[in-house]
Amino acid sequence: MLRKSVPKSEEKSNSPGLRSLIQNAWLSEIPGEDQEGPPPPPGSPGASRQGSGFFTLSSYDWPYESYMGRWAKALVYHWRNNPPMDYVSRLHPQGGEVFVLVSLNRSGELNTYEVTQIHRASREMEQSVLDAVLSSSQLPPLPEDHEEDLLQVHFRFIYPPLRVKKI
């Protein structure tokens, strides 16, 4: 059964632009050592080299590139094609970031999700991210090479600041 968790914190951070995020979203992850517990947020000091892009994983000891590439494409497609109205209408032009920790079970179903950090993002931005995550609530089963029962993935969604149009 899918469970929503409660947000952990709200902190400020600088981040790369949306174009960089999309270009590197599923290609920038570099395998590293496994870690205990949930993966650190992408771009955080604890994420090291593998966490500089769109996601970090709880385990890199499996051929994750294809599986995560398909999932990331679906998430980004839904997210980009359903932007929050306050951002599009420039009511919230400063942008922001939303970090979401997601757990998948072996059959590919979303087990839990939790907004772990929000940086300058509005509630509509947060909801847009959650809608994208929930749109992919049923994925293919985890590959047999993934030996653990759960896969935890920490995603970072970035809304870059919008330029103010001068009339």
pLDDT for 111: 93
pLDDT for 30: 37
Mean pLDDT of 146-162: 95
Mean pLDDT of 107-127: 96
pLDDT for 1: 52
- Domains in the chain with CATH codes: 3-159 (3.30.1150)
pLDDT for 45: 63
Distance CA 97, CA 44 (A): 13
